[in-house]
Amino acid sequence: MFNLKEIKSATRFVHARMPATPQYSYPLLNAATGAHTFVKHENHTPTGAFKVRGALTFIDWLRRKHPDIPGICTATRGNHGQGQAWAATGAGLTAKVYVPHGNSVEKNAAMRAFGADLVEYGEDFDTARMEAIRVAEAEGLFLVPPYHRELVRGVATYAYELFDAHPDLDTVYVPIGCGSGICGTIMARDAMGLKTKIVGVVSDRAQTAKLSMDAGRLIETNSANTFADGMAVRIPVQDAFDVYSKGAERIITVSDGEVADAIRLYFTTTHNVAEGAGAAPLAGLMQERVAMQGKKVGIILCGGNIDTRWFQAVLGGHTPTP
């Protein structure tokens, strides 16, 4: 957990390298949800997703604590890899990034553009992650895990911005992949002494976080086949589970169809583009909109990096098949 001084320090560090993202309330979206809804626009960061914040603080920590490391190695479905590549190469490090076969074409292109040495391996994120672990050790690279204290400290800065602007939020909906986003949100809330309830949202095709929370222990799944690729995780992370299992109000599931509906709703009411994981919090709010009527609610639009063909399909009324 972090104290408020640590989060404020991370916020100053991040803001020296990128501006704060806005949190806006839109009349058309409010009418659809029935709540006074504030969208936290992490789709407006330099890489189009919240992950860049954690990359900045992590790479800064790495350069200070391990100055002889020549580069990093990590695995991703895209947003984590973009942030790590941008921060690492900007600090003079190499960045080897593993993705599964069939990963987002446009996220792959963005990672390469940000300086990543991109390698496709395996059939899903967790398989690619195991290979990244092996290669990092074999090549003397620093393995960037999906969850690390210094990474989460940076991620927590988006929640600090949101809560600083609106400390009276009743509930915030946050998507869960490996868990850095929801954990950063919980830590910022607790450090600020707020009472906001935090609801995690997962795909009904990638329920590892919900199953783990319900069971009180880590539960792996056999697959995570959802087009909301930022949530497509089979194996939960213990350190993240230790935080969200205690700090989240609940975890709910949304279907790919509900996520596609939320992407369309974002575009028609705000003209913002949301990727699958980015739209999941809105899908969760829409699922619970009766209970949220009239309340002040935050939803984290964690990223907007959806492939053009999938976005075209969604706007055409379809749900993409991963």
pTM over 0.85: yes
pLDDT tens-digit readout, 236-293: 999 999 999 999 999 999 999 999 999 999 999 999 999 999 999 999 999 999 999 9
Q: Report in angstroms the alpha-carbon separations of 216 from 52, 212, 213, 238, 245.
A: 31, 6, 5, 11, 8
CATH number of domain containing 133? 3.40.50.1100
> Pick from 127, 143, 159: which residue ends a domain?
143
Indicate whether 153 belongs to any domain. yes
Mean pLDDT of 59-73: 97
Q: Give the pLDDT band (50/70/90) at residue 298.
A: very high
248 and 172 belong to one structural domain: yes
Indicate whether 198 belongs to any domain. yes
**CA–CA dist 22, 307 (Å, integer):** 24
Range of the domain at 217: 4-50+149-315
Indicate whether 320 belongs to any domain. no
Indicate whether 162 belongs to any domain. yes
Q: Report in angstroms the alpha-carbon separations of 46 from 25, 37, 49, 227.
A: 22, 24, 8, 23
Q: Is 104 helix (H, G, I), strand (E, B) or coil?
A: coil
218 and 294 belong to one structural domain: yes
pLDDT tens-digit readout, 133-190: 999 999 999 999 999 999 999 999 999 999 999 999 999 999 999 999 999 999 999 9
- Give residue 87's pLDDT: 98
- Give residue 22's pLDDT: 98
- Give residue 225's pLDDT: 93
- Whose structure tokens read 């930022």? 230
> Pick from 143, 159, 175: which residue ends a domain?
143
198 and 255 belong to one structural domain: yes
117 and 155 belong to one structural domain: no
pLDDT tens-digit readout, 224-238: 999 999 999 999 999
Q: Is 286 helix (H, G, I), strand (E, B) or coil?
A: helix
22 and 58 belong to one structural domain: no
Indicate whether 322 belongs to any domain. no
22 and 71 belong to one structural domain: no
42 and 156 belong to one structural domain: yes
139 and 215 belong to one structural domain: no
268 and 125 belong to one structural domain: no
> Pick from 102, 126, 143: which residue ends a domain?
143
- Give residue 23's pLDDT: 98
Indicate whether 321 belongs to any domain. no
Indicate whether 165 belongs to any domain. yes
26 and 90 belong to one structural domain: no
Listed as own residue / partner, the contacts of 248-251 with beta carbons closer than 8 Å and 24 or more positions apart are: 248/182, 248/186, 248/198, 248/199, 248/200, 248/213, 249/171, 249/197, 249/198, 249/199, 250/199, 250/200, 251/176, 251/199, 251/200, 251/201, 251/202, 251/209, 251/210, 251/213, 251/214
- Give residue 86's pLDDT: 98
90 and 188 belong to one structural domain: no
Q: Looking at the 3D structure of the chain, how many domains does it have?
A: 2
Mean of pLDDT over the chain? 97
Indicate whether 75 belongs to any domain. yes
275 and 229 belong to one structural domain: yes
